[in-house]
Structure 1
Amino acid sequence: MARITKGILGGFSGKVGTIVGANWRGQDIIRSIPKPSNRPPSEKQQLQQEKFKTVIAFLQPLKSIQTKYFGSGSGSKSRVNMAVSYTISEAIQMTGDVPELMYNKVLITKGDLTGFQNVAAVPQTGNIIRLSWENNSTQGNASETDQVNVICYCEELDRFEIFESVGIRTDLTKDVTFPAVYMGKEIQVWSYLHNEKGTVACNSVHVGAVILI
């Protein structure tokens, strides 16, 4: 891959002969067209492809969140790519030949905001999960108005429920209610905070798995 500096031709987009031009992260680049390979993938390559597919499928519904709140977004990788790389390297385990997510190691967001203190999730009658935490709004760069967000995933239904800005850091407790289809299902729960301006978030925390009642 090569970078095009501004000159008489400037940048271009599309295929010309054996090269492709594009604008990537604000820079005009050119690269050669990859040659197709008839060689079957190795066992290691197949394993990596399976991990990649598993992670991409899981994270896809979270793309809009991770675009804003996963890492700094600087350098050659986008925030979404950083989330994928992290999940593949840190939150996948193999069960036989099958890659599986370790939910307690999954990060939904990654950032420098002061996170929760002693957050917990408890099911309540009526398909409700009640989150509670302690007030740490005087610690680090925390603020009383930091926004509370709850991310829930049901593996059985392969479905996310996303509750954004449901409260603030000083509320200390918040209920989220699920559709009836979740009754009796196990739910993986994460929560994170972002500042009122929506410019920085904390590392999300896996609060645990609860069964709705």
Structure 2
Amino acid sequence: MGRVKEGAFGGFSGKVGKVVGASWRDIDYIRSLPARVNDPKTKKQLKQRSRLSVAMNFLGTITPFLRIGFQSQATGRMTAFNAAMSYNMKFAVKEGDQGVGLDYPNVLVSQGLLSNASNVHAEVGESELRVHWEVNAEGKSHADDMAMLVAHNPARGVSVYDLNAGKRANTKAGLPLPPDWKGNDIETYLAFKAADGTVVSDSLYIGRYMV
């Protein structure tokens, strides 16, 4: 705010462009208009916050898993978790009649160069997710690769996982589920990592099951 004593703006009041003239106790002043502040709650911003929230509600429950699953995507300032958020925000967060939500079959919890498995099928019994597969002879894989399993319970907003659920050569693995999940649906995923943990496969969505 600048005080006016004399000159062209002496006694000036009102607004000209981005300048406002005013008088207080016989002292004349000019000041610039404040910068316009965008409404932080526009529809676009609210939608983006909703998309972030949807992705975070799931991925935040498996952060240690993502540090392994997206390790190859972590470069520079991009952490493994941020890489997982970026991918899933782009490909797995959808907007439909019910609002914004996760398209679970398109979610990735792991991304890498190892092969996954073929003819994968799963079942739930006695509070355990049981997964079976055939070893994929093609691509990049090893008998001692370790299976990694995730089961997410959307109704409760929690997940369980195992980064060392069983060797690839065993063609099966199990993941214990909390007893109080009975009657809830779960979204499930399978991935593999090398024995030394440095290389992983893309994850595979293996279905929705009721506990």
- Structure 1 length-normalised TM: 0.76
Supply the AA of the counterpart residue of 1:181. Answer: D
1:134, distance to aligned residue in structure 2 (A): 0.3
**SS state at 1:77 partner:** coil
Instruction: Using the aligned pairs only, state the percent identity.
Output: 22
Q: Matched residue of 1:191: which SS?
A: strand
The residue matched to 2:123 in structure 1 has which SS?
Answer: strand
Which ranges in structure 2 are unaligned for 5 or more consecutive residues?
1-34
Alignment-mate amino acid for residue 178 of structure 2: P
Q: Deviations over 1:84-124 (max 9, x none)?
A: 11111110111347310011110001001111112111122
SS for the counterpart of 2:85 is helix
- Decide whether aligned partners of structure 1 residues 128 and 63 sit closer, same or farther in structure 2, where only a CA change above 3 A counts: closer
Hey, what does 1:45 align to over in structure 2? 45
2:89 is the counterpart of 1:88? yes
Q: Which amino acid aligns with 1:142?
A: S
Which residue number corresponds to residue 9 of structure 1?
none
Aligned CA distance change for structure 1 residues 97 and 148 (closer, same or farther; 3 Å): closer
In the TM superposition, residue 192 of structure 1 has moved relative to its aligned partner by 0.6
Cα distance change on mapping 1:118 and 1:97 into 2, 3 Å = closer
* Deviation of 1:37 (Å): 7.5
Deviation at 1:169, TM superposition (A): 0.4
Please tell me the root mean square deviation across aligned C-alpha atoms, in Å.
Answer: 1.9
> Distance in 1 between the 2:175 and 2:58 partners?
22
Runs of 4+ residues deviating >6 angstroms: none
Q: CA shift at 1:164, angstroms?
A: 2.2
1:14 aligned residue: none
CA shift in 2, pair 1:106/1:37, >3 Å: farther
Structure 1 or 2, whichever has the larger Rg, is 2
Distance 1:67 1:193 in 2: 14
**Unaligned runs of at least 5 residues, structure 1:** 1-35
Offset of residue 77 of structure 1: 2.6
Residue 106 of structure 2 aligns with an amino acid whose one-letter code is K
Q: Which residue of 2 aligns with 1:155?
A: 154
Q: State the shift of 1:179 in Å.
A: 2.2
Aligned residues: 175
Q: Secondary structure at the match of 2:73?
A: coil
Which secondary structure does the structure 2 equivalent of 1:86 belong to? Answer: helix
